[in-house]
Amino acid sequence: MAAETLMNYDRAKELKDFDDTKAGVKGLIDSGIVNTPKMFIRPAEELAEEQINPCQKNTEVPTIDLSNIQESSRQTADWRDSLNLSVQDSDPDPSEMPAVCRKPAIEYSQYIKNLGETLFELLSEPLGLEPYHLGSMGCTKGFSTVCHYYPACPQPELTLGVKKHADPGLLTLLLQNEISGLQILHEGQWFDVQPIRGGLVVNIGDLLQMISNDKFKSVKHRVLATPIGPRISVGCFFSGHASLLDQPFGPIKELTSEANPPRYKEAVLKEYIAKFVFGALDKKPPIDHYKI
Ligand SMILES: O=C(O)CCC(=O)C(=O)O
Ligand SMILES: [Fe+2]
């Protein structure tokens, strides 16, 4: 009986059915956010107008930020523009999104939310937890969508698109256009993560490493600057809901024991987040402050 079920198993059909529900990646691609580079190429007056529009509380309009460059140091600016859209509720307020990308961004957020819920269920299981455990902790609520635009770089050897880092949050779902540049660090060596059309990169972040008491491991990665472009990527960062900001969190109690004690101190989410918002991406990661 089991063998028969196995023989009838049609993986291609299962994937197609998953995509057709639009919980899958196809829905994300269809929503077209990766084809929205025009949000980065706009007249200066239009950008200035958005920057002073007070209703866009959750949006950072893209600018090349050179403020972290100190003349005396050899620090370089990252070779990219980024647009950050924070979605804290299931239905983001359209007036808080730049008009140019409002429709795809809202549609995309909805798919990501559904996919995030599924993935946190799947991740609860190998931890030996009930499927809804991570979801019920608030992991699936609230995420930031960051759209990166990496223009072609005339001297890619002098800079990087994004410096080496691990994502500080719980989980990142990343969509890339066809131009490569993303690399992960494995056993001291950098490996390319080639874009697969219709595929998402799923990255474990430091916060998930922390609450899983090292059962899941975050991965260090970076983005090269490339002579061809633009490279576009859209990362959705699950880092816990705003309502959890004042709560302490640490390794999940069910995952620790006398034989396997907590490897991290408890932290207040707000303080943890402040450490990565105000710290440099490639300097001491926030997780290191809590290691026991
Ligand atoms: O653009 C990419 O592929 C990755 C960007 C990234 O690592 C990040 O935003 O944290
Ligand atoms: Fe990252």
Residue 167 near ligand 1, beta carbon < 6 Å = yes
Mean pLDDT of the 54-63 span? 46
Return the pLDDT at 259. Answer: 94
Separation CA 75–CA 97 (nearest Å)? 32
Mean pLDDT calculated for residue range 196-221: 93
Q: Which tokens is 277 given? A: 């918002």
Q: State how far the Cα of 130 lies from the Cα of 66, in Å rounded to an integer.
A: 46
pLDDT digits (tens, 9 = 90+) for 3-25: 545 567 787 787 677 666 655 55
- pLDDT above 70 for 263: yes
Please tell me the least confidently modeled range out of 30-44, 89-103, 130-144, 231-245.
30-44
Residue 1 pLDDT level (bands cut at 50, 70, 90): very low
Q: Establish whether residue 201 lines the binding site of ligand 1, counting it when its CB lies within 6 angstroms of any ligand atom.
A: no
Atom 1 of ligand 1 has which residue's CA nearest to it?
233
List the chain domain ranges.
24-62+76-290
Give the type of residue at 30: D
The residue whose CA has the least distance to atom 9 of ligand 1 is: 235
193 pocket-lining for ligand 1 (C-beta < 6 Å): no
pLDDT at residue 33 in the model:
59
**What pLDDT is stored for residue 229 in this prediction?**
81
Identify the band that residue 73 occupies on the pLDDT scale cut at 50, 70 and 90: very low
This complex has an ipTM of 0.99
User: CATH for 24-62+76-290?
Assistant: 2.60.120.330
At 228 the pLDDT is 92
Mean pLDDT across the stretch 71-94? Answer: 68
pLDDT classification of 64: cutoffs 50, 70, 90 = very low
Q: Which ligand is nearest to the CA of 176?
A: 1
Residue predicted with more confidence, 177 or 91? 177
- CB of residue 221 inside a 6 A radius of ligand 1: yes
Of 174, 250, 261, the closest CA to residue 207 belongs to 250
> What's the CA gap between 224 and 222, in Å, rounded?
7
The finding on whether 162 has its CB within 6 A of some atom of ligand 1 is yes
Q: Quick one: 170 exposed, middle or buried, by C-beta within 10 A (0-12, 13-18, 19+)?
A: buried
182 Cβ inside 6 Å of ligand 1:
yes
Going from the Cα of 209 to the center of ligand 2, the distance in angstroms, rounded, reads: 15
For the Cβ of 146 lying below 6 angstroms from any atom of ligand 1, the answer is yes
Residue to probe by mutation, ligand 1, list 233, 236, 238, 276, most atoms within 8 Å of CB: 233
Find the distance separating the first CA and the last CA of the chain, reported in whole Å: 50
Per-residue pLDDT at 280 exceeds 70: no
- Residue 265 amino acid letter: K
Residue 245's pLDDT band (cuts 50, 70, 90):
confident
For residues 75 and 68, is the Cβ–Cβ distance under 8 A?
yes
Q: Please, which contacts does 152-157 make with residues 24 or more away whose CB atoms are closer than 8 Å? A: 152/226, 152/227, 152/228, 152/229, 152/230, 153/79, 153/225, 153/226, 153/227, 153/229, 154/227, 156/79, 156/224, 156/225, 156/226, 156/227
Structure tokens at 30: 């269809």
| Ligand 1 pocket check for 206: Cβ under 6 Å | no
Q: Provide the whole-model pTM.
A: 0.80
Of 77 and 165, the structure prediction assigns the larger pLDDT to: 165
- How confident is the model at residue 40, as a pLDDT? 56
Q: Is the pLDDT of residue 198 over 80?
A: no
User: Cα–Cα distance between 200 and 234 in angstroms, integer?
Assistant: 10
Mean pLDDT of the chain, nearest integer: 79
> Which two structure tokens, joined as six digits, stand for 167?
């994502």
What is the distance in A from the centroid of ligand 2 to the CA of 221?
6
Ligand closest in space to the Cα of 161: 1
Ligand 1 atom nearest the C-alpha of 201 is 3
What's the confidence (pLDDT) of residue 71?
44
